[in-house]
Amino acid sequence: MYCIAEDCSFGWTPFGVECFKFFSQTVDWVRAEKNCQSLDANLASVRSKAQNEFLMSLVPVNTRVWIGGHDAEMEKQWLWTDGSPFDYTNWCKTQPDNYKASEHCLEISYTDKRCWNDQTCTTTKGYICARDRI
């Protein structure tokens, strides 16, 4: 469901009940979440295939970005930073692999299939913030 532009601040794009913005500045995952929080937002969560495709429309191809999924507290127990249920997923084949037992953060637009990968949280990428519509 798309809504009128006035529902979001300038530069943010509405989808469902939220507004989204892609930031190309590359930072680690914790800094990305903190930057979103400073804007009264969180790193984006994904609840449907349609929303996943919407997020891809915000991101240049061949550009991996952080969103709000993490399993840092307990391995394989994925959570969203905004507290919503972790139901929908779009993992790449063989992912998440927790490579070297050190991958606990979620990057999207991974490979030309633009699927999801668990990645080391200290690597730097652009990111997508989401906040409730105003």
Count of positions on this chain that bind Ca ion (CB under 5 A)? 9
Give residues with Cβ within 8 angstroms of 51, minimum separation 6. Answer: 15, 16, 88
Rounded Cα gap, residues 87 and 103, in angstroms: 20
Nearer CB in complex with Ca ion: 75/132: 75
Nearer CB in complex with Ca ion: 4/101: 101
Give residues with Cβ within 8 angstroms of 131, minimum separation 6. Answer: 12, 18, 19, 36, 39, 40, 41, 42
- For Ca ion, what does the binding mask look like between residues 85 and 104, x meaning CB under 5 A? ----------x-xxx---xx
Helix (H) or strand (E) holding 30: helix 29-37
Are 20 and 9 in contact, with CB atoms under 8 Å apart? no
Which region among 8-16, 28-36, 66-74, 124-132 touches Ca ion (by CB under 5 A)?
66-74
Which region among 24-32, 43-51, 67-75, 77-85 touches Ca ion (by CB under 5 A)?
67-75
Is 77 a binding residue for Ca ion by CB under 5 A? The answer is no
- For Ca ion, what does the binding mask look like between residues 9 and 48, x meaning CB under 5 A? ----------------------------------------
Are 130 and 41 in contact, with CB atoms under 8 Å apart? yes
Interaction site with Ca ion (CB under 5 A)? 71, 95, 97-99, 103-104, 117-118
